[in-house]
């Protein structure tokens, strides 16, 4: 799993994808919340978890599920470039 991003759009898994699509990143599921509440979370695509608006994602607590490894990670984006300003993003996460 290697998450990256083009100049625009969402994240994608460069190991299995050449660009982002509506279900990217491949091999992941996302939910708003915390692993402390794992049993009550509803997992979906990153874009859906972001309410289809990635520019608003910074600061929202998320849980990333790495499907193949069955690992759950708390993750919060701290920045997301938008409006044609490149594909920058940053995040903080827990260690599985």
* pLDDT per residue as tens digits for the range 2-52: 998 887 788 999 999 999 888 899 999 999 999 999 999 999 999 999 988
* pLDDT per residue as tens digits for the range 57-67: 999 999 999 99
Tell me what pLDDT residue 4 has: 87
pLDDT (mean) for 70-88: 87
Strands 89-93, 28-32: pairing is unpaired
Give every CB contact of residue 96 below 8 A, 6+ residues apart in sequence. 66, 69, 71, 72, 73
């Amino acid at each position: 799993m290697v998450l990256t991003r083009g100049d625009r759009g969402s994240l994608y898994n460069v190991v299995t994808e050449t660009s982002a699509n509506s279900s990217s990143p491949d091999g992941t599921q996302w939910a708003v919340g915390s692993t402390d509440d794992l049993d009550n979370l509803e997992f979906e695509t990153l874009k859906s978890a972001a309410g289809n608006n990635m520019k608003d994602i910074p600061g929202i607590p998320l849980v990333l599920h790495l499907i193949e490894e069955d690992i759950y990670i708390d993750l919060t984006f701290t920045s997301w470039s938008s409006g044609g300003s490149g594909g920058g993003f940053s995040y903080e996460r827990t260690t599985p």
